[in-house]
Chain A
Amino acid sequence: MADSPQEVSAKLEQELRRGVIMLATLSQLRSAQYGYSLRQALAERGMAIEEGTLYPLLRRLEGQGLLVSEWRIEDGPPRRYYTLSAQGETLFASLTQSWRNLTGIVDGLIGDEKSRKKAAP
């Protein structure tokens, strides 16, 4: 059975978000964060990521050498804090540039479409 328009819309939006989750995560790890605090920080800025997606992602990024982590005890139980590695910082700068280029291009395309619709009789 075909998905309803709402389901299709939700899936496509999810795909769009999936593409930027990594960049959003890296952006918040220029200072050390642990999983829960990172999720809260992202949610406060409007980028809510499910915990089941975010926590494994941190480990995968660490496995790829983009993050470094350590156990720390601050105001509570031991927590694993993550921050960008040198390689992660380089990649973050590169991805940020790519993102800005891409959003500029897509904004231009969307703008063209709007102006075309306005121009149409």
Chain B
Amino acid sequence: MSAQFPKPDDLIAAYVGDVMKHLPMKQRNDVGFELRALLGEELRGRAADAGRLPDEAMTLELLQGFGRPDDVAARYHPPGVPIIPPQQTVAFAWTSLVGVALQWAVTLPMAAGSGAPNWIGGWWTSYGLGAFWWPGFLVSVTMVAAFVRLRWPAAVDAWKPKLVDRDHVNRPMYAVGLGFALLGVGVWVALAWWATTYAGTNHLAGVFEFDAEFLATRAPLVLLYWAATIALFVVLIIEGRWRSLTRRIELGLTLALCALLMWIVFGGRVFVQEAANATTEGVLVLLVIALLAEAGWKLWRGRSRIRTPVVG
């Protein structure tokens, strides 16, 4: 079989065909015809300048200099509305990656601990791939935002001042929050008493029966945390504002709660029954992740926005 060298016209036709694939249907034929003719003329012009007939190498040089077919097709399009604006690209990438990584960090140990023979395969086809719902969700949200920017540009283009007093305490709302906190403590204590008292006679109470060691060692610290939080609420309602000290106390309480919850999870059983125990431990791990994320967010938001540069 002899080697077949493509003719310059065939190379141009193949290139134009690749460009046309990326063009809108109604433009394809017209642009394709024009582009093929123009590239042919360009090639003949170059060949005349070089004083020889056009060949494969000269044609390839022309076409490669013209650009990748998809890039060339993009140049034929008017500038569109980007779904993810350039200034949001890095934040979008990080939000997507961290979201997927968090889901994997939570589900992978659960799958590994299940003891199933092919746990990694099972994890990948369920939670592993399933975690990609998050980037898809973010893309959907950004598509809606892009549509709003396109449809109502005036509504989003004009800058509006956001002078929010972050230290202001909404006393009625905090009072309601305090009420719910007290109610939660009451329900929890009542549930513990009811479950412990009736575990032997009532099936439902048996489900919620607390482990005796938990009630003796770790549970009192939960009450202590609640007491501290309620005291902080009371101070905030009285003062009507956050101060640097109360912010630091809140951060300290959050970190203390995370440490306490991790001790509760890894320091022994919470409930006597396995199902209730496993579910609670999973929920508490998720809660710790959420609390740490919230603490990190608050620290980041509370930093000095404009720092004085180092002079000299």
Contact = CB atoms under 8 A, between A and B. Distances in A.
Interface residues of B, number: 21
Contacts of B77: 60
Interface in A14-43: 34-36, 40
A51 B78 CA distance: 18
Contacts of A78: 33, 37
A64 B34 CA distance: 19
A57 B72 CA distance: 11
Interface residues of A, number: 19
Interface in A47-76: 50-53, 55-57, 59-60, 63-64
B38 A60 contact: no
B37 A52 contact: no
A80 interface: yes
A60 B65 contact: no
Nearest to B37: A77
A96 B26 CA distance: 34
Given A36-B42, A36-B45, A64-B78, A52 B34 contact: no
Given A51-B38, A80-B34, A56 B76 contact: yes
Contacts of B38: 34-36, 51, 55
Contacts of B13: none
A56 B65 contact: no
Contact of A52 (B27, B30, B31, B67): B67
Contacts of B41: 36
Interface residues of chain A: helix, strand, loop or mixed (majority): helix
A50 B65 contact: yes
Nearest to B79: A60
Contacts of A36: 38, 41-42, 45
Contacts of A35: 34, 38
Given A36-B42, A36-B45, A51-B42, A56 B75 contact: yes
Contacts of A64: 78
A28 to B, nearest CB: 16
Interface of B: 27, 30-31, 33-35, 37-42, 45, 65-67, 72, 75-78
28 contacts: A34-B38, A35-B38, A36-B41, A40-B45, A50-B65, A50-B66, A51-B38, A51-B39, A51-B42, A52-B66, A52-B67, A52-B75, A55-B34, A55-B35, A57-B75, A59-B27, A59-B31, A59-B76, A60-B75, A60-B76, A60-B77, A63-B78, A64-B78, A77-B37, A77-B40, A78-B33, A78-B37, A80-B30
Interface of A: 34-36, 40, 50-53, 55-57, 59-60, 63-64, 77-80
